[in-house]
Amino acid sequence: MENVPLPAFRFSRLLTVQPDDIDELNHVNNVRYVQWVQDTAAAHWQAAAPPEAQQHYVWVVREHHIRYLQPALLGQQVRCITWVSSMEGVTSHRHVRIERAEDNKLLCEAETHWILLDPSSMRPQRIPPEMARWVQEAV
């Protein structure tokens, strides 16, 4: 599959900051943001890909680029928004924005490069053309 620029369909989910999310500085721990980035990507994939297809593919993180901009505090609602900007060869480039739901203030943004694996061999496999369509359709 050649580098395919994708339209900016966005998948989102709301979370409420829980006591386990808070660190010694009384705001969401940076590690929790990374977990939210990964969980949001997984939620989008599970909502978008046909159930039978999910058994034939495994996504793993190659690298994360993440910027922390503002803290999130206990009890606040945050909106995690994700979209896939491109799929090329075995790599998918995914973006995640984490915003405070109350005022849409950007708290964190991330770009993650994912690699598609064959679950039986755990080796990289080329992204099939129909996969771009799955992640771009409203779910």
Residues 58-86 have pLDDT tens digits of: 999 999 999 999 999 999 999 999 999 99
Mean pLDDT, rounded, for 18-43: 97
Please state the rounded mean pLDDT for residues 122-126. 95
Cα dist from 18 to 23, 26, 129, whole Å: 11, 11, 39
Three-state secondary structure call for residue 66: strand
CA 81 from centre of chain? 8
From start to end of 22-102, where are the E strands? 58-68, 77-88, 91-100
Q: 73: which 2 tokens?
A: 């505090």
Mean of pLDDT values over 113-134: 92
Tokens of 106: 């950007």
C-alpha 62, offset from chain centre:
13
Tell me what pLDDT residue 58 has: 93
pLDDT at 139 (0 to 100): 55
